[in-house]
Amino acid sequence: FRLLQTMKANQSRNRPDLTLDQHEELRWKAHLEAEAHAAFPKTVSLNKVHIPLYKWDELASLGRTTLSQRAQNYRDLIETTGSKLFEFHRHLVLRTHSSEDVLVRWFIDVQMTITGALGLHLTHADFGAPANEGLTPRGFASQFAPPTAFAPPRDEPCWAQPQQHQQAVRHHEPPCWAHEQPSSQDAFGHTASRGQPCWSQEDLENRQHQTKSQSFERRDEPCWSQQAVLLQPATGAPPPGRTAGARTPDSRQPPAPGGALATRSSEAASIARRAQTSTIAFG
């Protein structure tokens, strides 16, 4: 810690172009970096197994062959803990034939996953990862995985297609029977409750139309009875044997033969009597 702090301070002193405030700022940054380096854990305990932690610069200086061998040993050590890390995080499965940069990123990603599960709030900067690497909180090993590699764990099965399902639900219009319809009453006094589907309302209208049509076609008397009424004199009085607004039992019987002639004869006799009376009155 003291050595690192001294080295950083000497670097700032060798720059005479800096002001006193800038020198003080560099000295304070060197102090923070040295303190973070001293506080960085060398190992962590995972299920009573000590897992070493490596920084970016240390891994990048190993070389391709040594780095690949250390990655395999690191994977085997994690599997001995029984934590099933690579079963729950399939994007962390080691690919030994990857490039050196991908292996370094795999180390940092695995270590961040382990420390995060243990409650250690370490960032990529704590592991010395460059700031321009475009690292994500979840891990950057999946960014360099081939398309046919193991996919990250899904919250829903692949056939669910959550994104397409959400878009379909967002742009989906409910069917006509889902709309609430106003209550109505048919010719029989039956009330259609609210919230019924549209086809029930259409059926109700059809039944109302049929009921009205049947009411117009319904006859109170047979056709021959209507013909008999037409033959009666247009005096405004109901026909003989029948009162206004009432139906007699024999109203549906056919008219007696000669009924029309008898009616006309009685009408002629009545006219003759009225004419005779008038003549007597003025005679």
What confidence score (pLDDT) does residue 145 get? 39
pLDDT in tens, 127-153: 888 865 544 444 444 443 333 333 444
What confidence score (pLDDT) does residue 67 get? 92
Return d(Cα 55, Cα 163) in angstroms, integer.
Answer: 38
Who contacts 207 (Cβ-Cβ below 8 Å, separation ≥6)?
Answer: 186, 187
pLDDT classification of 177: cutoffs 50, 70, 90 = very low
Residue 268 clears pLDDT 50, i.e. is over it: yes
Closest by CA to 142, choosing from 110, 173, 165, 174, is 110
Rounded to an integer, the average pLDDT of 26-33 is: 76
Higher pLDDT: 269 or 189? It is 269
Higher pLDDT: 77 or 30? It is 77
**242: Cα within 13 Å, side-chain hemisphere:** 18
Higher pLDDT: 186 or 278? It is 186
Q: Residue ranges of the domains in the chain?
A: 1-39, 42-152, 177-215
Return d(Cα 203, Cα 212) in angstroms, integer.
Answer: 14
What confidence score (pLDDT) does residue 191 get? 54
Rounded to an integer, the average pLDDT of 172-177 is: 46
pLDDT in tens, 199-239: 455 556 676 767 666 655 555 555 555 544 444 554 555 55
Higher pLDDT: 168 or 129? It is 129
What confidence score (pLDDT) does residue 198 get? 46
Residue 193 clears pLDDT 80, i.e. is over it: no
The first and second tokens of residue 64, run together, are 């391709």
pLDDT classification of 253: cutoffs 50, 70, 90 = low
pLDDT in tens, 84-97: 888 889 899 998 88
Instruction: Report if pTM > 0.75.
Output: no
What confidence score (pLDDT) does residue 53 get? 92
